Structure 1
Amino acid sequence: MPEKGVLPEKEPGAFRTIGEVAEDLDLPQHVLRFWETRFTQVRPLKRGGNRRYYRPDDVDLLKGIRRLLYGQGYTIRGVQRILRERGMRFVQAVGRGEQVAPAFVESDHDPEPETAPPPLGRADRASLTAVLDELRACRRQLARLAPTREATDG
C-alpha cells in the first residue's frame, strides 16, 4: 500500500492532469496554459471545471517544445516554424529523445524581401498627400491652443 500523500504510478497510456505534467516537465502550470495559446497543436482534453487532461502524445509534444525552447535555445517563433515545417510527430519524437532539431540561428524579424515593393500609384500618392496635409493642419491648430492651456494652468 502506498504512503499517504504519494500517488501510485499511472499506466503509460493514462491521461495526466496539468499538475502531473507540470511536475514531470519541471515547469509551472501557467507556462503550459500559455503554451496552449502559442502552439495550436497543444490541445488537452477539458472536462468539468475546465480541468485539463493530457494524453501521452500531448505530453511528448510538450516535452519536445520544452526541449526546443530550453534545451536548444529556440524562440517560440522558431518552435512554431519547426511545427509548421516538420510537423507535430517530429516535435513529439524530439520530446522522446528520438530526434534532434536542426541547429540554426534565428532572427526576430522576417528576412527582407528580395524585391522592392511596387511604387505608389498616382491616386494612392494623392490620398496620402491629402492625409498628410490634414495632419499638418491639426498640428497647427494644436500649437495655437497650447499657449492658451499653459497660461490657464499657471
Structure 2
Amino acid sequence: MSIEESLETAPDTQETDDEIRGRKGPLAFRTISEVADELKVPQHVLRFWETRFEQVRPLKRGGGRRYYRPEDVDLLRRIATLLYVKGYTIKGVQRVLREKGPEGLEEEVSGKAADPSVSEAVSAPETSQPQDDASQTGISPSIPVVQPEPQIVTVTVRDERLESEHDRMRKGLEDILHRLAEVKASLTVD
C-alpha cells in the first residue's frame, strides 16, 4: 500500500472549527471570530460595539487578541437582539444600559420592560397568538412566535453647503461645455 493510498483510507483526523467550538465548555472564553460567527455579525461590528458600550470589555492578550467571557457573549447577544430584532438605536441601547444596567437589557429583550418610555424601538406589526385555554393556564402553546423582520430605513441628509458646491461645479462644467460647443462650431464653419 502506498502512502497516498493510506492517506486516502485513513480516518479524517482534522476537525472543523465548529466541532472544536462545540467541545468548549459553557464557561470557556471565546475568540472574536467565534463570537462573530455565533452572533452572525462581522468582527468589526464587535470592535465598534466596544467603543459604544463601555460594558463590553473583552480580555485582550498579546497582539491585541480578544477573548470574550460567557457574560460578555450574553451581553453582546442581548445588544444584537435589541439592535437587529427589536429595532433599537445605538443610543437607545446605551440609555437602557445607563438607566437599568446589563440586567435591563434582559428585560427589554424579553419584552418585560417596566418603563416603555426608555425604549426607542421601531414600531413593527405585532404578531398575535391565539388565546386558548393553554395560554390562560400558564402552559405555553406549541405555536412558534414569529418575530417581524427588521425594517431597513434609508435616510437622506441634505447638506446645503455640499449642494451649493455641486451647483457651482455643475455651472462651471456647463460653461466649459458651452465653450467647447462654440469652438467646435467655429472649426466646422471654416
Cα shift at 1:100: 2.6
Partner residue of 2:111 out of 88, 100, 119: 100
Residue matched to 1:6: 16
Percent of aligned pairs with the same amino acid: 58
- So what's the TM-score if we normalise by structure 2? 0.49
2:91 equivalent to 1:80: no
Partner residue of 2:74 out of 49, 53, 60: 60
Secondary structure (helix, strand or coil) at the match of 1:53 reads strand
Partner residue of 2:37 out of 13, 20, 23: 23
Which structure 1 segments of 5+ residues have no match? 108-154
Cα shift at 1:6: 1.1
Q: Distance in 2 between matches of 1:22 and 1:6?
A: 17
Cα shift at 1:83: 0.4
Q: Distance in 2 between matches of 1:84 and 1:68?
A: 15
Greater RCO between the two (CA within 8 Å, min separation 6)? 1
Which structure 2 segments of 5+ residues have no match? 1-10, 122-190
Alignment RMSD, CA only? 2.5
Amino acid at match of 2:16: V
Residue matched to 2:167: none
* 4+ residue runs over 6 A deviation: none
Partner residue of 1:33 out of 47, 65, 73: 47
The structure having more radius of gyration, on CA atoms, is: 2
Q: Distance in 2 between matches of 1:12 and 1:2?
A: 27
Secondary structure (helix, strand or coil) at the match of 2:66 reads strand
- So what's the TM-score if we normalise by structure 1? 0.60
